Amino acid sequence: MKPWIVSLLLVTALTGPAVAATKPAKSDKSDKKAAAASDSLKLLEQAVAKDSTKFENLLALGAMYLDRDRPLEAQRVLHKANQVRSKNMKVLVNLGAAYDASGDAADAQKYYREALAVTPGDELAAAGSPAPSTRRPSKPKPSRCYGT
């Protein structure tokens, strides 16, 4: 039996049916989405722990870490993905975003430039990599990444 049902029954027994008609706030859609996202993260972490050679899982986990503002973990996983499939534009852009989010502008620029070398017209790599004469402050941009 769910804990909120037990609480509801206890409140009903103590105060009567008028108070028992209120439903706990935890049953809204945002909590369900958060739980599903957490489950997705755990499943990907387990899949990567079981087999760290599957490129798609490594890329998805790295992007998920970026989305959750965990840039150091994203860097670790994305470096593994880069070892499995080197010079992949999505991995390089995500590595740039991970270093950018952790405040390491120099390494971020390195990976953005590598991504541009692989795919010269890529908008995300170009946006992350300014012209050599232009200096911009590094800002975390975890939403600017490639998923799977």
Mean pLDDT of 41-50: 94
Residue 2: predicted pLDDT? 47
Mean pLDDT of 102-127: 89
Q: For residue 115, which of 141, 97, 90, 140 has the smallest C-alpha distance?
A: 90
- Sequence-distant (≥ 6) Cβ neighbours of residue 103 within 8 angstroms: 138, 140
Return the DSSP state at 70: -
Instruction: Give the Cα-Cα-Cα angle 111, 146, 95 (nearest 5 degrees).
Output: 25
Instruction: Provide the mean pLDDT of the chain.
Output: 77
Mean pLDDT of 24-38: 65
Residue 95: predicted pLDDT? 96
Q: And the tokens for 102? A: 């952790």
